[in-house]
C-alpha cells in the first residue's frame, strides 16, 4: 500500500526526527565512502528549505549496545556539513537531558545529529522507552533509511507509536521502484541473481520464477544449482544442504515457464588469490581440487545477449569473486551489457553496487537500491517493519 511522504504534509516550523542510514565505512577517522550520506541529501534539503529543523538519528556498525569510540558519528557529521555547506551539530548522546536541551533550542534550518543509536541497548530490542524518549520532543518522524526498514528497532519502527510517521523522499522512491518490479515490471523481465548462497535467496528465486521471463543465475549460488543437475563440482563452494531445494526450484521453473539460465562454462582455479592460474571449463569438466569462481566467457556472452533483449533488468549479487582479479570478468561483462542496454535497470546489494562504482558504471543504472537485506525481503513479499509503521495514503 502506498505510504504518505513528506510531500503530503506541511513541515514548516516542525521539529523532525529523521532516521537516516549513515552506516558508512570509516578509515583513519574519516568517511571512506559517502554514498549513503549523499543519498539522504535530497530529503534533508527538502525539509530544510521548507523551514523544518532536523534531529538526525543513525546507526554505524554493530556496537551491540556498547559505546565504541571508533563507531562514533563525528566523522559523519563533518562530512554531512561539508556536503550541505552548513553547520551540523553532533551530540555525544542519543537521549537524555543534554539532548533534550539541545533539541529545545532548535530553530528552523538547524540540524542536530545524535550519537550512534546502536550504542543504546534498547535500539535493537525495539525498547518502547527508548522509542518514547527519541520521539519526545519531535513533532514528526520521517524514515528515510530503507536499508534498515527490515529491522523492527526503536528508531525505525518503535518511534512511530508516539508521533506521526512519514516516508522520506529516498524511502518513497525505494518503495515505488521496488513495488514496480513486482507489480508492473517492464517486459521481457530479466532477473540476474548471484552471490554465494542459495539459502539467502530461495524465496526471492521462487518469487521471480512466478514473475520473470528469464532468470540468470551466477556466482557461488549457481554452483549449488549445477550440483542439483548432477555435476561434480570439485572443490567449488556450494551448499550441499540446499541441493534438493535447488532441484525443486528448477522443476518449478519448468512449470512456471520462466527460462532459467545457468553457466555453460566456468572459470576455475586451484587457489583463490589475485592473478592465480585458471582455466575455462564446462560444468562437467571440473577436476578434483579445482574451484569454480566465475562464469566463463561463453556464459557472459549469453547473459549479455539476454540483457540486450530485456525491457527491464533486476540484478542482485555478483557473478564471480569480483574482488579477486581475474575473476571479476563475468560480473564486469554483464555490468557493461546492462549499462549499454535501453532496459530499465534496478540493482540491489552492496557487492554489485561496489562493482558498478569501481567500473564507473553506476550512473548508467536506472535505479540503485540502498538496501541489502531490506531489498531482498521486499522482493520476497515480506512486510518490512520500518515501512509498515508509516502512515498509509489510503487511511487519510
The string of pLDDT tens digits covering residues 113-123 is 999 999 999 99
350 is catalytic: yes
Are the beta carbons of 365 and 347 closer than 8 angstroms?
A: yes
pTM to 2 decimal places:
0.93
320 is catalytic: no
396 pLDDT higher than 90: no
For residue 364, give every residue at least 6 positions away whose Cβ sits within 8 Å of its Cβ, in sequence order, or none: 338, 339, 340
Where do the structural domains in the chain lie, given as residue ranges? 6-171, 178-378
Query: Can you tell me whether residue 134 is helix, strand or coil?
Result: helix
Other residues' Cβ atoms within 10 Å of the Cβ of residue 237: 17
CATH number of 178-378: 3.40.50.1260
Task: Give the residue ranges of DSSP H helices in 257-384.
Answer: 297-308, 329-340, 350-359, 373-380
Please tell me the distance from the alpha carbon of residue 348 to that of residue 338, in angstroms, as a whole number: 14
Mean pLDDT of the 146-171 span:
97
pLDDT recorded at residue 372: 87
Long-range contacts of 35-40 (CB under 8 A, 24+ apart): 35/353, 35/357, 36/147, 36/370, 37/76, 37/79, 37/80, 37/83, 38/83, 39/170, 39/370, 40/144, 40/168, 40/170
Nearest to 170 by CA among 387, 391, 393, 395: 387
Q: What percent of the chain has pLDDT over 70?
A: 99
6-171: CATH class: alpha beta
pLDDT recorded at residue 376: 94
**Sign of torsion over alpha carbons 311, 317, 322, 328:** negative
Which of the following is catalytic: 78, 197, 302, 336? 197
377 pLDDT higher than 60: yes
Which of the following is catalytic: 29, 98, 257, 350? 350
- Asked whether this chain's domains 6-171 and 178-378 adopt the same fold, the reply is yes
Which of the following is catalytic: 109, 311, 372, 373? 373
Which of the following is catalytic: 14, 15, 19, 36? 36
395 pLDDT higher than 80: no
pLDDT in tens, 25-45: 999 999 998 989 999 999 999
Amino acid at each position: 500500500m502506498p505510504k504518505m511522504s513528506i510531500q503530503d504534509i506541511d513541515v514548516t516550523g516542525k521539529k523532525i526526527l529523521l532516521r537516516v542510514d549513515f552506516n558508512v565505512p570509516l578509515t583513519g577517522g574519516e568517511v571512506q565512502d559517502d554514498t549513503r550520506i549523499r543519498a539522504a541529501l535530497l530529503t534533508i534539503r527538502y525539509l530544510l528549505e521548507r523551514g523544518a529543523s532536523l534531529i538526525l538519528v543513525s546507526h554505524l556498525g554493530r556496537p551491540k549496545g556498547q559505546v565504541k569510540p571508533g563507531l562514533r558519528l563525528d566523522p559523519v557529521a563533518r562530512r554531512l556539513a561539508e556536503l550541505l555547506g552548513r553547520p551540523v551539530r553532533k551530540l555525544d548522546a542519543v537521549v537524555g537531558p543534554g539532548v533534550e536541551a539541545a533539541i529545545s533550542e532548535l530553530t528552523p534550518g538547524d540540524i542536530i545529529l545524535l550519537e550512534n543509536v546502536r550504542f543504546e541497548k534498547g535500539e535493537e530490542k525495539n525498547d518502547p522507552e527508548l522509542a518514547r524518549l527519541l520521539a519526545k520532543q519531535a513533532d514528526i518522524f520521517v524514515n528515510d533509511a530503507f536499508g534498515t526498514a527490515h529491522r523492527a528497532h526503536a528508531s525505525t519502527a518503535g518511534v512511530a507509536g508516539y508521533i506521526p510517521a512519514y516516508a522520506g523522499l529516498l524511502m518513497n522512491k525505494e518503495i515505488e521502484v521496488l513495488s514496480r518490479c513486482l507489480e508492473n515490471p517492464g517486459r521481457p523481465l530479466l532477473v540476474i541473481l548471484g552471490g554465494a548462497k542459495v539459502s539467502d535467496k530461495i524465496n526471492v528465486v521462487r518469487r521471480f520464477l512466478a514473475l520473470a521471463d528469464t532468470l540468470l543465475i551466477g556466482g557461488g549460488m549457481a554452483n549449488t544449482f549445477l550440483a542439483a543437475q548432477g555435476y561434480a563440482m570439485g572443490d567449488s563452494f556450494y551448499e550441499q544442504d540446499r541441493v534438493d531445494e535447488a532441484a525443486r526450484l528448477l522443476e518449478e521453473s519448468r512449470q512456471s515457464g520462466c527460462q532459467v539460465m545457468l553457466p555453460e562454462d566456468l572459470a576455475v582455479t586451484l587457489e583463490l588469490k589475485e592473478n592465480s592460474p585458471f582455466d575455462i571449463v564446462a560444468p562437467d569438466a571440473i577436476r578434483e581440487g579445482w574451484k569454480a569462481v566465475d562464469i566463463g566467457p561463453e556464459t557472459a556472452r549469453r547473459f549479455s545477449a539476454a540483457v540486450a533483449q530485456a525491457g527491464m533488468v533486476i540484478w542482485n549479487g555478483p557473478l564471480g569473486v569480483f574482488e579477486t582479479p581475474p575473476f571479476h570478468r563475468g560480473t564486469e561483462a554483464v555490468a557493461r551489457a546492462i549499462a549499454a542496454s535501453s532496459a530499465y535497470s534496478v540493482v540491489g546489494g552492496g557487492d554489485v553496487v561496489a562493482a558498478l562504482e569501481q567500473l564507473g558504471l553506476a550512473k548508467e543504472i536506472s535505479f540503485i537500491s540502498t538496501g541489502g537485506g531490506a531489498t531482498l525481503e521486499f522482493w520476497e513479499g515480506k512486510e518490512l517493519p520500518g515501512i509498515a509503521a508509516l502512515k498509509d495514503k489510503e487511511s487519510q
